[in-house]
Chain A
Amino acid sequence: QVQLQESGPGLVKPSETLSLTCSVSGYPISSGYYWGWNRRSPVKGLEWIGGFYHGGSTLYNPFFKSRVNISVDTSKNQFSLRLSSVTAADTAVYYCARWSVYGSGSNRFDPWGPGTQVTVSS
Chain B
Amino acid sequence: QSMLTQTPSASGTPGQRVTISCSGSSSNIGSNTVNWYQQLPGSAPKLLIYSNADRPSGVPDRFSGSKSDTSASLAISGLQSEDEADYFCAAWDDSLNGPVFGGGTKLTVL
Taking beta carbons and an 8 Å cutoff, which residues of A are in contact with B? 38, 40, 44-48, 50, 59-63, 95, 104-115
B51 near A: Cβ within 8 Å? yes
Q: Which of A60, A106, A113 has the most B CB atoms < 10 Å from its CB?
A: A106
Asked whether A109 and B47 contact (CB < 8 A) given A47-B1, A59-B98, the answer is yes
- Minimum CB–CB distance from B46 to chain A (whole Å) comes to 7
Number of interface residues of B (CB under 8 A): 29
Chain A contact surface mostly: strand
Which B residue sits closest to A100, measured CB to CB? B50
B110 near A: Cβ within 8 Å? no
Query: Is B35 a contact of A108 with CB atoms below 8 Å?
Result: yes
- Minimum CB–CB distance from A109 to chain B (whole Å) comes to 7
Query: Is A105 a contact of B1 with CB atoms below 8 Å?
Result: no
Query: Is A110 a contact of B99 with CB atoms below 8 Å?
Result: no
B85 near A: Cβ within 8 Å? no
Query: Is A105 a contact of B98 with CB atoms below 8 Å?
Result: no
Query: Is A61 a contact of B33 with CB atoms below 8 Å?
Result: no
